[in-house]
Amino acid sequence: MWLSTAPALAADEEIQVYLDDMRAPGKFGVDVHNNYVFNGRGSPDYPGEQPPGRVYRLTPEFTYGVTDQLEFGLYLLTTRDAAGSWHGDGAKVRVKFIAPHDAEKGWFWGGNLEIGRTDSRVSETPWNAQFKGILGWRGGAWLLAANPNINFKLSRNGGPVTDSLDLKLNRKVDEKTGLGLEAYTEWGPLRRPDAWNRNSKTVFAVVDHDFGDFDLNLGVGRGLTHEADRWLFKFIVGTTF
pLDDT digits (tens, 9 = 90+) for 137-156: 999 999 999 999 999 999 98
Sequence-distant (6+) residues with CB within 8 A of 113 are 94, 95, 129, 130, 131, 132
Non-local CB neighbours of 235 within 8 Å, separated by 6+ positions = 34, 35, 216, 217, 218, 219
Task: For residue range 216-231, list pLDDT tens digits in order.
Answer: 999 999 999 999 999 9
Low-confidence stretches of the chain (pLDDT < 50) are 1-9
CATH code (residue 174): 2.40.160.40
- Backbone φ, ψ for residue 183 (5° rounding): -125, 135
Q: Report the domain count for the chain.
A: 1
Query: Strand 142-153 and strand 70-80: pairing?
Result: unpaired
Asked whether residue 47 is domain-assigned, the answer is yes
Flag whether 15 is in a domain: no
- Residue pair 113/129 in contact (Cβ under 8 Å)? The answer is yes
In a domain, 91, yes or no: yes
Residue 120 lies in a domain: yes
- 3 lies in some domain: no
In a domain, 115, yes or no: yes
In a domain, 140, yes or no: yes
Neighbours of 176 (CB within 10 A): 12
Answer yes or no: are the C-beta atoms of 181 and 205 closer than 8 Å. yes
Find out whether 235 and 219 touch, Cβ atoms under 8 Å: yes
Q: What is the DSSP letter of 42?
A: -
Report the C-alpha gap between 96 and 86 in whole angstroms: 30
Q: How far apart are CA 228 and CA 89, in angstroms?
A: 21
So what's the pLDDT on residue 185?
A: 97
Would you state the torsion angle of the CA atoms of residues 95, 100, 105, 110, taken in this order, to the nearest 10 degrees? -30
Q: Is 130 a domain residue?
A: yes
Q: Which domain holds residue 213?
A: 28-240
**What pLDDT, on a 0 to 100 scale, did the predictor assign at position 158?**
86
Q: Are 79 and 122 in contact (CB under 8 A)?
A: yes
What confidence score (pLDDT) does residue 196 get? 87
Report pLDDT for 10: 53
Which uninterrupted H or E stretch holds 114? strand 106-118
- pTM assigned to the model: 0.94
Amino acid symbol at 119: D
Phi-psi region of 202 (alpha: psi -120 to 50; beta: other; left: phi over 0): beta
